[in-house]
Amino acid sequence: MEGLVYGYLLERDFWSEGDFSAVFLKGRDEDVAAFIRKFPHHVPPLKTSDRVKLREASSPIDKETGKPAMLLAAIVSDPSGDTTEAIGTWYAGPAVTGKYVFRLKRVAGTWTIESVK
């Protein structure tokens, strides 16, 4: 289900207004690696979180380039029957941050996004 949230966030263009060298996804390395394979030509490139340097109240930094980066995170609640909620966030420093709240629904065994606020 996190994949639905990340897919939605990656379709948005949060990074076009800044000079970001990477987008880091919060999650297990194997899940992030799957997204990197799914979006191999994403600009800026997707990278695993072990390559980000975090500083308090400041933009995340790409360890490889020394340039600002963006973090995406997806947190999904435990399902209640065929529905659940999730929060998708983006963060590139205190002034560049936000979130969406998702309502997810299982239809014919497949999770889909029912609504986004």
pLDDT along the chain (117 residues), means of 10: 92 82 89 89 90 90 95 95 97 92 97 97
| Separation of alpha carbons 111 and 89, rounded Å | 20
pLDDT at 50: 87
Torsion angle defined by CA atoms of residues 54, 57, 59 and 62, in that order, rounded to the nearest 10 degrees: -10
Output the pTM of the full model.
0.89
pLDDT for 55 equals 87
User: What secondary structure does DSSP assign to 3-50, as a single string?
Assistant: HHHHHHHHHS-TTTTS--S-EEE-S-HHHHHHHHHHSTT-SSPEEEGG
